[in-house]
Structure 1
Amino acid sequence: AVTASLAAGLPLRTAAFAALAVAAVTLHTAPLLRVVRGPGGVGAGRAGAWALEAAAQAVALLALLLTGGSLRDAAAVCELWGVAVAVRVPRRGESPAGRRVLAAVAAGSELVGGWLLLAAGGVVVLEAYTLPAAALALGAGLLALRRRPGLTSWLALGPGLGAAFLPSLVSVLVSGEPQPWRRLALGAAALAVVLGGAARRWQAPVVLGAATLVPLALHELARGWDLLPRWIFLGLGGLLLIGLAATYERRRRDLVRLRDAVARLG
């Protein structure tokens, strides 16, 4: 396919789509081998099917490389391949494990294609890249929690929440720009996650949401340090210390109860 395209005088990035077409045909032809009895029996047919599927994925990667750094062409290859793989997911006869792998490949291809399109359009907003990935991870985690009740929230929701909160939090803490809307949105989202996790008794959202809120609150205090008279902070700090000293035992019991409550979350 690549040689024929080049012989016809077409550019290399156009040959990428010809190679992608071959990969798509191979991907959808491979399942037919599973019902064919090879020289070694049925297992030989299944092995051949897996080999063809692996070859199809490799050719799709080759097609991506053939785009030659053109972001829009590379995005088109990823999006088309994601569609081609997604069509295989509901196919009758696919095993549950096979469906999960195909769904992951399709989602990953669509995600990378979206990133490439954003980069080609000059989009520099951080959340435009991180939130789609976080949404995919959280969707997969919620689905896994429904199908596997014994799964912990850390395995199911931790990666998605980390992808959603960590890049934005680092940007707020490290960047010297004010970013008021990002700070407001991040704080509101973290608070909503803490409340939602507490309502569903999920440990990961409570801990990760609180781990986002605490440094964000400290950052806001640091920003307000130069805007308010110093005596206000000293007075508030003194009142806080007096209150903690007067109710030390009760606060210590509250911390123990809080730790136990978080430990009981799933």
Structure 2
Amino acid sequence: MALLLTTGHLLYAAGVCTLWGLCVGARALWRTERRLVLAVVAAGSQVLAWWFRLAAWDVGTTEAYTLPAAGVALALGWYAVRTRPERSSWLAYGPGLAAGLFPSLAAVLVGADEPARRLLLGAGAVAVVLAGSVLRLQAPVVVGGVTVVGVALHELVRVWDLLPRWVFLAAGGFVLIGLAMTYERRRRDMVRLRDTVGRMT
């Protein structure tokens, strides 16, 4: 009802969501079996309040909307794994990682030329893959790896228009020769990689 009364006034709507999130968050501090549910509602209210503020300020940067939501989702996933360690990394961290990386990847693939975004996204995705490898978590490795491959393919397409075509033909020929000479070892490496990722949680 309070949100309906703020129709057309985004800053007032942000204030309502902020107050609601604080109230629900305070309730989540009490001993209750629904603590995780209340924490999700409180965090979602704060994220919604932040989005209302950004819309009121005419902020159009994708990451300003996605990164706070991703951070909240990852924090809740960490808390969920802490309370129940048997949870899969896909349930705990998959939504947050997807929310943080995939919208930026889409902006890179279809948006204007933004070198800083491409560089930061690639570096962030590599960091996610490394963290997932160290912690033996499947979701960060896969989601970060997909993002790294997407950024790399995008950069390859950009380079394609800048270099003579014979350079790519020569490079492709050398790559094929190298793969043919080390086929058995590459096949064993791929099987080992698949088994390693499959054993992650």
The two structures have a TM-score, normalised by structure 2, of: 0.97
Report matched runs for 1:31-70 at 5 Å: 62-70=1-9
- Whether contact under 8 Å (2:40, 2:76) holds in the other structure is no
In structure 1, the residue matched to 2:57 is: 121
Partner of 1:178: 113
**Matching residue of 1:137:** 73
| Mapping for residues 69-88 of structure 1, pairs under 5 Å | 69-88=8-27
Shift of 1:90: 1.8
Q: Give the letter aligned to residue 78 of structure 2.
A: L
**Aligned residue type for 2:130:** L
Residue segments in structure 1 that go unaligned for 5+ positions in a row: 1-61
Given the alignment of the two structures, is residue 153 of structure 1 paired with residue 92 of structure 2, yes or no? no
Alpha-carbon offset, residue 235 of structure 1: 1.0
**Amino acid paired to 1:95:** T
1:220 aligned residue: 155
Q: Please report the TM-score for the alignment, with normalisation by the length of structure 1.
A: 0.74
Q: How far, CA to CA, are the matches of 1:232 and 1:121 in structure 2?
A: 48
2 CA distance for matches of 1:114 and 1:67? 15
Aligned ranges 1:247-266 → 2 under 5 Å: 247-266=182-201
Q: Tell me: higher relative CO, structure 1 or 2? Use CA pairs within 8 A at least 6 residues apart.
A: 2
| Structure 2 partner of 1:211 | 146
1:230 to 153, 165, 172: 165
The answer (yes or no) to whether the contact 2:36–2:80 under 8 Å persists in 1 is no
Other structure's SS at 1:253 match = helix
* Structure 1 residue 68 displacement after superposition: 2.1
Q: Is the 8 A contact 2:129 2:141 kept in 1?
A: yes
Q: Which has the larger radius of gyration?
A: 1
Between 1:212-221 and 1:99-108, the stretch displaced more is 99-108
Aligned mate of 2:178, from 235, 239, 243: 243
Q: Is the 8 A contact 2:21 2:42 kept in 1?
A: yes
SS at match of 2:58: coil
Q: Supply the distance in 1 between the matched residues of 2:151 and 2:7 (Cα, whole angstroms).
A: 42
1:198-227 CA-partner distances (Å, limit 9, x unpaired): 000001100111111112101100001111
Contact kept? 2:70, 2:97, Cα under 8 Å: yes
Amino acid at match of 1:172: V
The Cα RMSD (Å) is 1.0
Please list the CA deviations of residues 71-95 of structure 1 after superposition, one character each: whole Å capped at 9, or x if unmatched: 111111111111122222223xx42
* Structure 2: runs of 5 or more not aligned: none
Alpha-carbon distance in 2 for matches of 1:257, 1:195: 17
Q: Match for residue 40 of structure 2?
A: 104
Which residue identity is paired with 1:128? A
* Alpha-carbon offset, residue 149 of structure 1: 1.4
How many equivalent pairs are there?
201
- What is the one-letter code of the residue matched to 2:147? T
